[in-house]
Structure 1
Amino acid sequence: MDFGKFFSKEKTFRPKKKFQQGTMRYELHKKAEASLNSGLDLKSCVSLPAEEDFNDWMAVHVVDFFNRINLIYGTICDYCTDESCPIMSGGPKYEYMWCDGNKYKKPTKLPANKYIANLMDWIETIINDESVFPVSQGKQAPKSFCDSANSINLTIGLLQWFYRMYNNVYVCSLQEAHINTCYKHYYYFIVEFKLVDRKELEPLKDLTERICH
């Protein structure tokens, strides 16, 4: 499957986060990327490879998922406007409000495009923080990566936000096979390592059961 033809470079929403060639993170990234494009069973591809570090496997996937959802959203950002998407919705039963403790100190209703713009700015800041997601030669994930990610809601928080973005993509009725494949890869990963509460996955439950089981 050629993702390059579907994800046009002109549609990039944010600069792509890259791992430095020659690093172990880069090799793990290439391994994960090859799995996505190989046509293999994605459910088995998310399992931690033998003798690989879980922290690195986690960090690589978070960055890769960010890059993919970034590109996916680039395909709908032109027509997801204040008028067409007045709220950040996960369907008729779900609505998400934005709160960052800074500009928006209380949960605030925003059009989906503004919600996602704020969200992507926040995620990009974390992804580009090499003390959390190092990509350079000789740098490794902090030993406390998983513990600190849990305590300050980094990794699990990021993965949960990615789910909300997929939710919005599907609300916009964008169900291309390529997007379904990216979603399946993401879904199998969070389920494999129990990273997102099942209650958070309710909005796309029917679609998930249809394409992931």
Structure 2
Amino acid sequence: MQTWSVVIPVKPVSVGKSRLRGAVPEDAHERLALALARDTVAAVLACPEVGEVLVVTDDPVVAGVVTALGARVAPDAPAAGLNPAIRYGESGLPARSWRAALTADLPALRPEELGAALRAASVAPERRRFASDAPGVGTVLLTAPPGVPLDPRFGGPSAAAHAASGAVPLTGDWPSLRRDVDTGADLSAAHRLGVGAHTSALVAAPCGPGSIPC
């Protein structure tokens, strides 16, 4: 079994997940952004295929939380952007490691689904691979074998951008891996899959009074 190093970039919670505003009361928005990242990192650390998690962030609250979980932290340059943060994080990984970049908004992530995707990625040891999000437009996971740069193209229609750059799509049925959360509707869909404890504590049952959108 290959052992992977995973880079997860996390924006400061004060500016992160702006499209989610209104999904929970305003005074809970930053706690929700933190909960999404905390549940994502916890699930990645619980995956047997993962040997190391490096969180790239300049938010001291995020850094403290993920360090307590067992992740390593690299300070991000403020407003550097998602792809520069991933490249910076990758530069701090062992040169001959199997590497992956993962988005920080996967609160329903199951360690076994991430493990299955990483095992599938290791079948082609010379190629970058990626997993698209549930709609097939964005990217949730990008992988690279030793000696091959991740070359991230996250943001917007990144699935097409990664494919155009030569990365090969991963085609497995991994609903919890593909369910990133950008909007209230995404959060509701993730809740139906079963989110982690910290996100669950902030989200009411779907379709009930005061609930997230259904």
- TM-score for both structures, normalised by structure 2: 0.30
Select the structure of larger CA radius of gyration: 1
Task: Return the structure number with greater helix share.
Answer: 1
